[in-house]
Amino acid sequence: MKRTGNTIFITGGGSGIGRALAHRWHDEGNRVIVAGRRREALEETVAGRSGMAYYELDVSDPDAIRSVAGRLTTDHPGLNVLVNCAGISGLEDPTTTRDLSRTSDIVETNLLGPIRMTDALVDHLKGQPDAAILVVSSGTGFVPYPGAATYSASKAAIHSYTLSLRALLKGATQVIEIIPPMVATDLLDGLTASPLSVPLDKFADDVMAQLTGQPEADEIIVEEVEPFRFAERDGKMREIVASMIADD
């Protein structure tokens, strides 16, 4: 991915990782468009930043995706980068019967959301110079957090989908997976205060440094997520899962 001169569309750009990366890309001289469900958060994200714009969008709504994609390519014909960052989580106990409505929402948002968003824009992106699709997954897609089993499963699935997309788009559009560790955001209660969470600014800075230093990279793997990303290779999967259960 080139460093500057892009037109970048970021889902989940109103807060957390999406907002942090949006501001850094904008500071680098890119035109940045963010999308999210909360207008107030989007307005705060773009406030005082010339060249930034926003669209209200719930990526769990396929009709809304199609509508925003049509407006986006009309309003910003130079769009060449899609960043699928929108995501939700939730603690759960899959060992007992429960209400699965949140489970369904997680799958719709975290898996079908980026699949549908990519589908809506891929034909446009393939015709653009320096095109890229970035997908924000999670370290829990490689080692599941048992307390958020569906979230972890959705991230494992989007990792697999990203691998397929990269192979099929080779030579046409770069496909990059950003793999966060536990980051201090509002994704789950307690993350911002946890001493185990990586500060948001540090994570975003590390991501940008890797994107700049390794513009052809397939994956962005910050230091703190390496134990998760390589757990299966290193034979540490069961040990890490057991430690997370013990911590709960």
- Residue 105: Cβ within 10 Å count: 14
At 28, is the secondary structure helix, strand, or coil? coil
Tokens at 103, concatenated: 């489970």
Active-site hit among 54, 55, 145, 151: 151
Q: How far apart are CA 53 and CA 35, in angstroms?
A: 9
What's the angle, vertex CA 42, arms to CA 41 and CA 46, rounded to 5?
120
d(CA 218, CA 174): 8
Closest CA to 85 of 31, 33, 153, 30: 33
Contact 162, 120 (CB under 8 A): no
161 catalytically annotated: no
The whole-angstrom separation of Cα 25 and Cα 3 is: 8
Active site residues: 151
